[in-house]
Structure 1
């Protein structure tokens, strides 16, 4: 299923280590950091969870032009990102734990809440979604009128699950489900929520105020309460004795599972039951701490050299070949309507080393580069065709206009381009030189191009 996630994206960092002494200049513990894990947070976490579930995921968000935003993009390689301009620093939340005990959270850029810029290209994915999850973290993206209008239109066609924030935007009318937790319900309703009856009353009033189809209140180890058409149903956890050590991400897991179940045809009650069970399993497995995430570079090493089982196949291949003393080759492009010219270029590239990794422009990247009529084939089909070639060992999709960020991760020994480029004029040349790599151009096959092939096919119609 194709699920679109809309909302505020953050960078989450977990630092964990040992504290065996205090600072000499004050009564604060000195934490000897032993691990650092990073992940996309907020709407980025929802997108990550859905992608790991195997769904086709688009993320509509706003990002900045800073190192934290670059890191978020690199952590979301399995997600198509449609981004507006944030207009301020990327919010970063760093949780610090010592000997298993949380001792501090350090926020950067969270106090500023500039109004993000929304353009029409960000709204396009909403038109083809099977379901939409809104992850509002109170950073004003969901206040943008064009985005709200597009969401209201989409809600008439597909389920929209809105995960609200106490200081966020008002949910759109027509949402299939709004999913506050108990604390948010108290803030948003201003009513007593000390018992299930009071929770049901508050949820019902909010459902009427928001003109939502339902309000589903998440209750941690007590499950969830569904308020729908004037009735309330309490759905408990499937097993007793659930212990929640870290609830971070539980609401994101619930909303994502609820949207997927609704898109799959489940009734609202069935979908809530599924979301409760999924959230329980998520927390029982360790929550966000158990998610696959990439370690941050340290001691001058790159993620491709330090990551473990959570690497993509392309990064794992590059690391393995490099460790064996081999030569990593990469080539890039849109590869829309694969033709003989592409094949000859890729065969030549593969002959230059011990593996060939294709850096493939995502659909959104192709549209920006080639126009709204392209690509002819979506990125998954293009990747599958490339992987079907014996000369291609791995494919990695990138969403930016140029592949520099991906190349900085893969660190190939050779970057191959067609001879219609001058090697020294390519921005990649300076990048490759940083680690001793080189840019090589290979001759193109005359008369072969995707544009001419597309034109010929169009003429047949």
Structure 2
């Protein structure tokens, strides 16, 4: 059964699936026979892991997803198929051995120990897998070093993927990959040693530049955890900071980053925009509790966000399905690249995006006579035409607090140009446990600046 289709570009994920288990409980004492904690009142949860997690997260974004991976007939493989079947299509590769399982034992949400078993590897490519790659519009490789990417390397080389998420035990990405996403330690291990000591951002920048050259990739984004990501095209790297640092469980954040970046690139975003959106999505993912806090995977996916002009009805339906409602606001007088990048990144943070737009009188009070240049009806029509926007809501006040109190979004997004400023909406969202976040904003893009340049050119 395929995943949900909402007009977004379908995605093929190629990589090594795992089965992840969390056994969670409390630990208030040590065992009498050894200095180890006793974990009581345990509850077990299973979820997709590895490439299967990346594919499932992409499907939860509302995208049609096909996963090409090694699976067998062992108990772990059967459990994984049951979890994935409601969400996406699995193209199986023959597996030698049992599907790998990773079990975490947690006490008060903190890992105590991890248990690994299963040594299965993808044995060979199949005609069905090659056919899926030939017809794919967008490909994400999630390589966990267990043979899937290697088995299909020739097919991947013929049609380089958008994103390759590497693993130290796997092979290098194929030349021509648009974006490679190693973690900081992985980049250090992959990069050739040059004998010069370096640490921190300097080391990450040096490693990323070296990997762009060695891998012949268009770009490399080194993920830096709570610090965000460093994007390099070979020189002069761009640091994309995380909207906020969260102390939560980071398990699965790399898969969230890769799936988010691949989805944005598939839908036409620039690499920089995709990395910004992926950083925001990964940050929100950790803030929400990481992979351990995800809803049960085996449940039937909710239908796609309803096509409705009523933003309140849309928010209510998404909330009833335990989805995440995201809202973003602004005048959007002259829609430009900065707006589009922000809204695409915001949509990646949840299950629907409601754009809160100032009415004409509200814009006039804020911007002065002569604004808005485009009347409300035109601004709303342009916003609704964006694939990342699910609904538009209008407010007459100077600020959207009253509208937000009615919509009660889970996430409220502001552009990074508000950094350091007071955000009155942040306190409001705390009333229903919502979160206000900042996303990076493209420098040099503003409606006011566009109007000034147009006026200068007309002289």
TM-score range, shorter chain: 0.5 to 0.7
Match of 1:256 among 247, 255, 259: 259
- Do structure 1's residue 44 and structure 2's residue 52 form an aligned pair? yes
| Long gaps (5+) in structure 1 | 295-302, 304-309, 315-461
TM-score between the two structures when normalised by the length of structure 1: 0.60
- SS across alignment from 2:132: helix
Tell me how far apart the structure 2 counterparts of residues 33 and 17 of structure 1 sit (CA, whole Å).
5
Match of 1:170 among 169, 172, 177: 172
Q: CA deviation at 1:292?
A: 1.5
Match of 2:61 among 46, 53, 58: 53
Match in the other structure for 2:279: 276
User: Deviation digits for residues 337-374 of structure 1, max 9, x if unmatched?
Assistant: xxxxxxxxxxxxxxxxxxxxxxxxxxxxxxxxxxxxxx
Q: CA deviation at 1:23?
A: 3.5
Match in the other structure for 1:291: 294
Determine if contact 1:140/1:169 at 8 Å carries over to the other structure: no
- Do structure 1's residue 149 and structure 2's residue 154 form an aligned pair? yes
Match of 1:117 among 124, 127, 144: 124
Match in the other structure for 1:381: none
Match in the other structure for 1:97: 106
Q: CA deviation at 1:76?
A: 0.3
Tell me how far apart the structure 1 counterparts of residues 109 and 58 of structure 2 sit (CA, whole Å).
28
TM-score between the two structures when normalised by the length of structure 2: 0.60
Match in the other structure for 1:226: 231
Determine if contact 1:18/1:98 at 8 Å carries over to the other structure: yes
Within 5 Å, which residues of 2 pair with 1:17-416?
Answer: 17-77=25-85, 78-109=87-118, 112=119, 114=121, 116-144=123-151, 147-155=152-160, 159-189=161-191, 191=193, 192=197, 194-238=199-243, 240=244, 242-294=245-297, 310-311=299-300
Determine if contact 2:69/2:122 at 8 Å carries over to the other structure: no
- SS across alignment from 1:231: coil
Q: Using CA pairs below 8 Å that are at least 6 residues apart, which structure has the higher relative contact order?
A: 2
- Asked which structure has the greater CA Rg, the reply is 1
Determine if contact 1:189/1:202 at 8 Å carries over to the other structure: yes
Q: CA deviation at 1:193?
A: 5.2
RMSD, aligned α-carbons = 2.0
Q: CA deviation at 1:243?
A: 1.9
Q: CA deviation at 1:311?
A: 4.9
Aligned pair count reads 291
Q: CA deviation at 1:269?
A: 0.9
Tell me how far apart the structure 2 counterparts of residues 226 and 312 of structure 1 sit (CA, whole Å).
34
Tell me how far apart the structure 2 counterparts of residues 100 and 288 of structure 1 sit (CA, whole Å).
12
